Structure 1
Amino acid sequence: MSKLRVAAVGTGNIFRSIHLPAWLAHPEAEIVAVCDAYRPGAQKIADEHGIKDVYEDYREILARDDVDVVNVCTPNLYHSEVSVAALQAGKHVFCEKPDAINPVEAIKMADAARANDKVLMVMRNNRYRPVSQFLKSYVEKGNMGDVYTGRCGWLRRRGIPGKGGWFTTKELSGGGPLIDLGVHMIDLAIWIMGNPKPVAVSGSVYTKFAGNDLSDSEHSSFGNKQADGTFDVEDLATGFIRFENGASLQIEFSWASNVETEGRFVELRGTKAGFSLFNDDLKLFTEIDGTLCNIVPQLPKDSGGHKNNINHFVDVVKRRAEPIFVPEQGVDMIKILSAIYESAQSGREVRLD
């Protein structure tokens, strides 16, 4: 059984806590190199896990013939640059979300994957949770009827990541909670709906907590805080998405807002049934024999969406599975997010078609 030889570019918190354990646990993968502009961080990981080679320049990794997969966990700005270069060098790419900071860069990634016949997959961990798989099947079997509207979001009371660092610097991140959290729940909602084509969006963004240092979220530990750094992104975004089939989706995402507690949610409504997924709690709303019923499904324990996503990526590279995520879906996602920012600036609905 030949192992995929993986090289990681970017060894910050998301790699250390999420990607690294999944790769180490996979019997058909081995990490042969790590790379980070901050060499001591990469060196520490290499020393802890017996990884021989450490680099500061990702181009040295791409020159190696013994690297099959490049795992990209850099700040958002560099997702496209590193991914495109890796694909052109004949490597498969697994990239942390978001796909890119604008549609032009996302299209470059999709085009490079197609032109070089390599697998490009961007983290969509929520698709790979048992509850998500159940809901996808439930909708595909027609149990919800016509799914025509819904809402989704992820609200934190106080959970700004890496304040003053790259997370809150628009040039590096592309935005605040909309691009950081929105990619998760918007993707999950649209995927469960059957991937309808988005045609128009409207939105508003707000920055109200740049001077607030309170935290009640574990996610505040992501990134490196800088006391005198930049904060030029939103801390809350709201919006509305219209789809070609007439369906619609309300969205709301915050790093900081005066709500009771942190929570992520997707709610969809169909002509036969609806559902509410709040954090890990799922409820179905339907009618049986003329009686309105609330149903709580008994589902398997979540085995880890991030790990399942990387396992699926390996299966696709090994040609054992068809991809659940394709790059064109990533392009649509970044078009949505970019258009919401544009709408917030102009005060008008933005068409995507």
Structure 2
Amino acid sequence: MTLNIGWIGCGLHASQMLMPQLGRNDMRLAAVCDLNAAAAEAARWRYGAEAVYSDWRDLIAHKGLDAIGMAVGPDLHREASIAALQRGLPVFLEKPPARDRKGAEEIAHASEKANKPVIVGFMKRYSTGNKIAANIIRKGDFGPVLGLSGSYMSGPAYFGKTPDYTSFFLHHCVHYMDLMPWLAGAPFADFEIRASEHQPGHMLMHMNFACENGAIGNIIMGTIQSRGTPTEAITIMGDHRRIEIENVINIRYFRDPAFKADDPAAGLADGADTLSWTPNFTAAANEDHKGYAALMHDAALAFAGDPSAAPTIFDGVSAMASLERMAARVNEELRRRRL
């Protein structure tokens, strides 16, 4: 069954990353909305929408819609998703779902009241390397996750003499507030922060954490690396097991190999030596290694009322709660260092 989707927000991210995945997953873009008339018209033409709106309220009132998707700002995410739910429409929200935990909780309450799902755009769960790692862990032979480390950097943000990292927290750091507990298999229990700022807008933070299941780890995030280089790496440790993910696509699974140098019969043991994988970008295959296509596949399942592994607004509430704590501690640490 093809689902008719109304979409709010036709910027570059939505039109280049999200909308192309709809048709791949039996979803039809029926109507679009943006304050920028040219962007809305471009999306209508490119994806064959039947209607264009400038007011999101008119968009969600469009007849025949099965669900609403949106990629706008956090305040409008909250307001428009609640309005859509009140009309009985399930929702896809790009992250962050709201500006704060309270806003995310309001969406979650509306989702429960309407008995309709709200899917949040935590696509890093679906990035190829992260997906493979999670499948290895959940298969069982990896054993419990004991430790994790992750680095997820971004470029400098310039704020003149008054640096404000709110957007960086909301649009960048929120990903790892969801991804790392998901990989660990349990929410954060507690964490500590170290942060430094060598000039306005150029910040580095280290977060060490413990999860409710006993896993421990650390996350490095900041605005001091070029986005033109790979800036993401994750290590997941078990007992004599280790998974390393680089740039979301290259993955190695280390196990417990024997020493090779003094063994004249040394070979490669299927159950012990390292497994590795990297994609073949020369293959004529339409693969989305960042994870948007797989995320929208699971969103479509949820919209249709079928079982789905898609991250929901309740995952969004958890991530926003962690993000609020993290941001408050980073800002406190930076204020202390500026004194």
Q: TM-score range by the shorter chain?
A: 0.7 to 0.9
Of 300, 317, 328, 1:342 maps to 328
Structure 2: how far apart are the matches of 1:42 and 1:259?
28
Structure 2: how far apart are the matches of 1:325 and 1:260?
28
SS of 1:287's equivalent? coil
The 5-angstrom pairing of residues 233-272 of structure 1 reads 235-257=203-225, 261-272=229-240
Structure 2: how far apart are the matches of 1:263 and 1:93?
31
Per-residue displacement from partner, 1:241-288 (whole Å, max 9, x unpaired)? 222222223112233348994321111111231111111211222214
Letter in 1 for 2:93: C
Structure 2: how far apart are the matches of 1:204 and 1:341?
11
SS of 1:252's equivalent? strand
Aligned to 2:299: 313
Aligned to 2:39: 41
Q: Contact 1:129/1:303 (CA < 8 Å) preserved in 2?
A: no
Per-residue displacement from partner, 1:110-145 (whole Å, max 9, x unpaired)? 111111011110112222244333222221233332
Aligned to 1:7: 6
Q: Contact 1:276/1:283 (CA < 8 Å) preserved in 2?
A: yes
TM-score, scaled relative to structure 2: 0.82
Per-residue displacement from partner, 1:51-73 (whole Å, max 9, x unpaired)? 23111111112223412111110
Aligned length: 313
* Aligned CA distance change for structure 1 residues 271 and 309 (closer, same or farther; 3 Å): same
Of 285, 297, 301, 2:276 maps to 297
Tell which deviates more after alignment, 248-257 or 30-39. 248-257
Per-residue displacement from partner, 1:166-222 (whole Å, max 9, x unpaired)? xx976xxx431x33222334433322222x122223224555565xxxxxxxxxxxx
Q: Contact 1:154/1:262 (CA < 8 Å) preserved in 2?
A: no
Structure 2: how far apart are the matches of 1:248 and 1:260?
30
SS of 1:175's equivalent? helix
Structure 1: how far apart are the matches of 2:226 and 2:77?
32
Per-residue displacement from partner, 1:7-29 (whole Å, max 9, x unpaired)? 11111111011111111333x21
Aligned to 1:175: 167
* Aligned CA distance change for structure 1 residues 286 and 347 (closer, same or farther; 3 Å): same
* Aligned CA distance change for structure 1 residues 198 and 234 (closer, same or farther; 3 Å): farther
Letter in 2 for 1:201: F
* Aligned CA distance change for structure 1 residues 243 and 42 (closer, same or farther; 3 Å): same
Letter in 1 for 2:239: T
Structure 2: how far apart are the matches of 1:275 and 1:190?
16
Aligned to 1:201: 191
Of 58, 79, 84, 2:82 maps to 84
Q: What do you get for the CA RMSD once the two structures are aligned?
A: 2.9
Structure 1: how far apart are the matches of 2:226 and 2:63?
52
TM-score, scaled relative to structure 1: 0.79
Per-residue displacement from partner, 1:18-52 (whole Å, max 9, x unpaired)? 111111333x2111111112222112222333323
* Aligned CA distance change for structure 1 residues 324 and 15 (closer, same or farther; 3 Å): closer
SS of 2:244's equivalent? strand
Tell which deviates more after alignment, 54-63 or 10-19. 54-63
Q: Contact 1:185/1:265 (CA < 8 Å) preserved in 2?
A: no
Q: Contact 2:7/2:32 (CA < 8 Å) preserved in 1?
A: yes
Structure 1: how far apart are the matches of 2:309 and 2:226?
39
Q: Unaligned 5+ residue runs, structure 1?
A: 211-232, 349-353
* Aligned CA distance change for structure 1 residues 37 and 184 (closer, same or farther; 3 Å): same
Displacement of 1:331 in angstroms is 1.0
